[in-house]
Structure formats: structure tokens, C-alpha cells
Amino acid sequence: MTIWGAATCLLAGCGPRTPGETGSDSSQPTGSASDATDTKPGTGTPASEPGPTDPTPPPTTTATSGTDTDDASEDTSVTEIPPEPVIPLDQFTCAGARWRFVEPSPSLASNAHVDSRGHLRLTSGWDVLDFDPTGDLAGLIAPPSPWGWGGIDAADDLYVTFRDERAARKGLRKFAATGEVVWEIDRGPSPTKEFSGRVTVGPDGTTLVGTHSESRLERYDPAGALLWDKTIADKRFTDVVALNSAGVAAALRHGRDGAVIALAPDASVLWEQPFSTHPSGYADIDENGEVVATSRHGQPHVARLAADGSVLWDKLVELPQLTDPSVTALATNEAGATALSLHATLNGEMVALALRLDKNGEVAALHACDPTSQGRAIAIDEAGVVYLAGVVWAEDGEHLFAVALE
């Protein structure tokens, strides 16, 4: 860890470990340049918001539960005026990192998930990287581009939406963890301005596909068979963002009059709880049907709702040491812990941060990364280990980083 990283950990109150201590030697990348060459890690642009004909879409920040690929979303990355690099790539780390990886070539991070093997699955450009539990880059899946992130099920299979530009049709693909295509389905014609929708994946492999702008919602079983395709009358939500094994979906209506909404397997509304997410926010659902939601801008406003929609807790997490914080992703585990990816200004420098809350919404740890960096994606496993991914700036631009935090 750099001296700067240890200092920020002290100022940010990182814990529970002693500031400056790491679980493994993080002075050198666990994924070396030679490792990256052997496994061909992704570089270039993220797959989160591809347009029908643009091969190099702009960088975006996305939730772990999926990404809408039919509408342009607000870009939270800093691209107009690149910030000044502060820490050399080979020294970059985050406080409390058990392992760390920095991609040696320019690249962008979005969408993170920890699978049943304890592997971190992370998008980089048009690739999905696969890190083993020690942080070594074990492989990747490179779906034909353009595609949009869907998610990963309990069997570690990957789901992506895609658009066949030549045929002007849209579809859904399922990949095994080893990269083989399990199945591919055609979802019908795709108008020029539409891509392929937002996919939400349940642990059993059930998928929901919808869009920001339309009321249509499709549901597929784990084998890719269409269960139903319906237009939601008086649609009260903007996005479906998470799905559990019971088929209950968490959805958000963005805005000052926003809400968290639970949908039954037939897409009927089970309950609705007011929750402002202006201009947008993130949510996740556990197997008990409890939903955690957060707003994006400002000090993190986080709420946990019971399976019946009642409020278990609703808190504004005050982090006075940070200036202009913004949440970029959220994830929860079955033990009730919640992890948030943030970027903010700390000591005058832009840094990526990972915030972990316990089941009661109390701050359990706040990990700060070296500057100049930005958090983009987050995941948390059942043991409470948090996986933060984002970008760190160097002279040649943005580079993907990933860390495991305890």
C-alpha cells in the first residue's frame, strides 16, 4: 500500500483492519502484464451502453443488477477534462486490499458479480473477466459485440442481450462459466434506435427484459423459453433492477417522487414504498424478499425494506470527510450486509471508495483507494468480502482496477 492510501484510510475511518495492513502483498499486481497477455483481458470501451452502430460507446457507470442498453443514461465518469494521475499504476491500491489487479493497458470497468466459486466476474470493454479467489485472472468470455450486460445466475452462467445489426433483430444469449454458448434466442425485430433492453437475471436463470421508455416486459425461463410477453398498463416503475429465486423483482421509479416497487412473478405490483432517487438510484433484493435501495448523488441515502414493503431502516449515511460523493453501484448479501461503490473528493483528490453497511445500516467499513480513481462497480460475497472495481488514471488514460476488501 502507498503512504497516501494508508493516510486516506486513517482519515476515512477505514476498518476493521489496521490502516495500512493488507491481507496479501499488494505492492505488485496479482494480475501481471504477462498474465493479461496470456488470457487476453479486455480493453477499450464498456459494453454497458452500446449504440446500434457505434463500436466505441462512452463510458458509463452501472449497477450490479444489470444495465439498460436501449436508452442513453447519464454518464458519471470524468471524461471531458481528464484528471491528473497521482499514483503510478504499479503502486496503486486501496486500503484493506486482500488482492488487487490493475490492467496494464487503457480499459474501463463496469458490472461486477461474485459467483458461487468465489470468482469475481467483471466487464472490461466487450469482455467479461474472471478472477479467481486469489485475484489471478483466470480467463474471460468475449461475447460477439455489441452486447449489453444481463447478469450471472447461481450456476455461474452469464446472460447478455445483443443486437444483430445486419438483420436488425435483437436477442438474448446464455454462456456457461467456461465460455460456451448454452443457448441463444431471437427476441424479434429491433428498430434502428432500439438496442436490446435491460436484462435482470434471477439465481435460477429466469430473466426479465424491459426498457426505460417502453411498457413492454418479457419473462424467460432458464432454458430461454418465453413465459410471457406483456405490456404493463399504467407502468409505475422506470427499471427492474434485481430478481430473486421466488421470481419477485425489485424495481425503481426514479425522480423526486420516486419509489421502490416489488413485482410478483406475473409483473403485478406487490407493494410500493416512496423513496426519492433523483436523478436515479440502485437497488438489490435478497432471497427473503428484502430490498435495499440507495440514491445516487450526495451523501448516501440508503433504506432496507422488508418483504412486505415496510421500512426496516432508512438512513442518510453522513461521511463529512468526503466532498461531492456519488454512489455508482450497490449490492447486498444474504447476511444483510450492503456494499456501495462511491467516488468522491478526499483531501482534494478524486478517489474511489467502498462503503460496507451491516444488517442494521451502520457503517462497518469505508475503504479509500489511491488517487486519481473512480469506483464503477461493486459486489459482496456471503462472507462479507467486498469487491470494488473502477478506473485509475494514468498518463495514457483510464485503466481498470479491481480489489478484494476485508
State the pLDDT at residue 32. 30
Min mean pLDDT across 3-17, 274-288, 298-312 is at 3-17
Residue 71 has pLDDT above 50, yes or no: no
The CATH number of the domain holding residue 395 is: 2.130.10.10
Between CA 405 and CA 383 the distance in angstroms is 11
Q: Is the pLDDT of residue 3 over 60?
A: no
The whole-number pLDDT of residue 51 equals 31
Q: Dig out the grid coordinates for 309 from the structure.
A: 414493503
- Tell me the pLDDT band of 40, cut-offs 50, 70 and 90: very low
Where residue 138 falls among pLDDT bands split at 50, 70, 90?
very high
Asked whether 335 and 384 are in contact (CB, 8 A), the reply is yes
Closest to 106 measured CA to CA, from 79, 91, 124, 131: 124
pLDDT at 33 > cutoff 70: no
The predicted structure's pLDDT at residue 191: 72
DSSP bridge partners of 171: 162, 186
Question: How many Å apart are CA 141 and CA 374, to the nearest integer?
Answer: 25
CB 79 within 8 A of CB 373: no
Please give the full DSSP string across 103-159, using - where no structure is assigned. Answer: -SS---EEEEEE-TTS-EEEEETTEEEEE-TTS-EEEEE-PPSSEEEEEE-TT--EE
Q: Which residues contact 104 (CB under 8 A, 6 or more apart)?
A: 29, 33, 36, 89, 399
Higher pLDDT, 192 or 139: 139
Grid coordinates belonging to 14: 477505514
Model confidence at 194, pLDDT cuts 50, 70, 90, reads low
Domains: count for the chain = 1
Q: Which of 50-64, 166-180, 246-260, 367-381 has the least mean pLDDT?
A: 50-64
Please tell me the distance from the alpha carbon of residue 137 to that of residue 129, in angstroms, as a whole number: 7
Higher pLDDT, 354 or 210: 354
Q: pLDDT band for position 202 (50/70/90)? A: very high
CB 374 within 8 A of CB 64: no
Q: Cell 425461463 sits at which residue?
A: 221
Q: What is the helix, strand, coil percentage profile of the chain, to 5? A: 5, 45, 50
Q: Is the confidence at residue 128, as pLDDT, over 80?
A: yes
Look at residue 6 and tell me whether its pLDDT is greater than 50: no
CA 83-101-87 angle, 5° bins: 35
Domain span at residue 259 reads 3-405
- What pLDDT is stored for residue 70 in this prediction? 41
Cell triple for 70 = 436501449
What letter would DSSP give residue 90? G
Q: HEC string of 223-248?
A: CCCEEEEEECCCCCCCEEEEECCCCC
Q: Is the pLDDT of residue 57 over 60?
A: no
**Mean pLDDT across the chain, nearest whole number?**
82
Q: What is the pLDDT of residue 164?
A: 85
Max Cα–Cα distance, the chain, nearest Å: 57
Answer whether residue 79 shows pLDDT above 70.
Answer: no
Confidence of residue 20 (pLDDT cuts 50, 70, 90): very low
**Mean pLDDT over residues 246-260, rounded?**
94
Is a pLDDT exceeding 60 seen at residue 14?
no
Check if the beta carbon of residue 177 is closer than 8 Å to that of residue 156: yes
User: Residues of the chain with pLDDT > 70: what percent?
Assistant: 79
pLDDT for residue 192? 60
Q: 338: which strand partners?
A: 332, 357
Q: What is the pLDDT of residue 50?
A: 33
